[in-house]
């Protein structure tokens, strides 16, 4: 029987983060089925082998919210990482990762609210809503807040009037 990998020695799981922005500069957030608190998050998901972050972004958007009616605005130049609390990390992905490293993409949503369907084949969210950029940071679980703060600051020009 192999020994579990030490938490701090584990790699980060590569994934894509999606900031989906509607026509009045509100951001899509969903409440996860597996989160029993009042935390909300932007869509995100793993990058498959051979897939670019942009391809993964469109795929994950469709998988998580039932539509990919969006136009890419920008791709963050850096990979941004966060650690998941050790107890939770041991339960996710067979305990292989200590957190995620994300390539963040900003998209302009060009569909209607009626196009959004979170009752997908493998649903991640039980509820969704549009959030102001000002409240986004406080809606997130604490361990994601530093990444959310960086994304909000770095994508600020999108929200300029």
CB-CB contact of 128 with 38 (8 Å): no
pLDDT at 2: 53
Q: Has residue 81 been placed in a domain?
A: yes
Q: What is the pLDDT of residues 34-91, one digit of tens each?
A: 876 788 999 999 999 999 999 999 999 999 999 999 999 999 999 999 999 998 888 8
Residue 116: inside a domain, yes or no?
yes
Alpha-carbon separation of residue 64 from 80, 96, 122 (angstroms): 21, 23, 8
Is residue 108 scored above 60 in pLDDT?
yes
Question: Please, which residues bridge with residue 75 across strands?
Answer: 105
Domain that holds residue 140: 7-159
pLDDT greater than 80 at residue 4:
no
Tokens 């795929």 -> residue = 59
Domain of residue 11, CATH code: 3.90.79.10
Say which residues have a Cβ less than 8 Å from residue 20's Cβ, sequence separation at least 6. 27, 28, 42, 43, 61, 65, 70, 107, 109
pLDDT band at residue 1 using 50, 70 and 90 as cut-offs: very low
For residue 160, give both structure tokens: 């300029």
Residue 145 is encoded by which pair of tokens? 């807040």
Query: Does 8 or 150 have the greater pLDDT score?
Result: 150
Domain annotation covers residue 120: yes
Whether 1 maps to a domain, the answer reads no
Within a domain: residue 35? Answer: yes
The Cα 71–Cα 30 span in angstroms is 20
- Is the pLDDT higher at 137 or at 110? 110
Residue % of the chain over a pLDDT of 70: 96
* Mean pLDDT, all residues of the chain: 93
Q: Are 154 and 74 in contact (CB under 8 A)?
A: no
Whether the pLDDT of residue 93 is over 90: the answer is: no
Domain assignment of residue 2, yes or no: no
Structural domain count, the chain:
1
* Among the listed residues 154, 149, 144, 49, the one whose alpha carbon sits nearest the alpha carbon of residue 100: 144
């Amino acid at each position: 029987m192999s020994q579990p990998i030490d938490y701090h020695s584990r790699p980060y799981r590569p994934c894509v983060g999606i900031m989906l922005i509607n026509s009045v500069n509100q951001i899509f957030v969903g409440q996860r089925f597996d989160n029993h608190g009042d935390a909300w998050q932007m869509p995100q998901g793993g990058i498959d082998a051979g897939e670019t972050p942009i391809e993964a972004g469109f795929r994950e958007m469709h998988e998580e919210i039932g539509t990919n009616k969006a136009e890419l605005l920008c791709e963050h130049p850096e990979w941004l990482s966060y650690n998941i609390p050790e107890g939770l990390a041991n339960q996710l992905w067979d305990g292989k990762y200590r957190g995620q490293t994300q390539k963040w993409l900003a998209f302009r949503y060009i569909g209607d609210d009626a196009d959004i369907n979170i009752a997908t084949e493998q649903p991640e969210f039980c509820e969704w809503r549009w959030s102001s950029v000002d409240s986004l940071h406080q809606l997130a679980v604490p361990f994601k807040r530093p990444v959310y703060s960086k994304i909000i600051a770095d994508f600020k020009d999108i929200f300029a009037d």
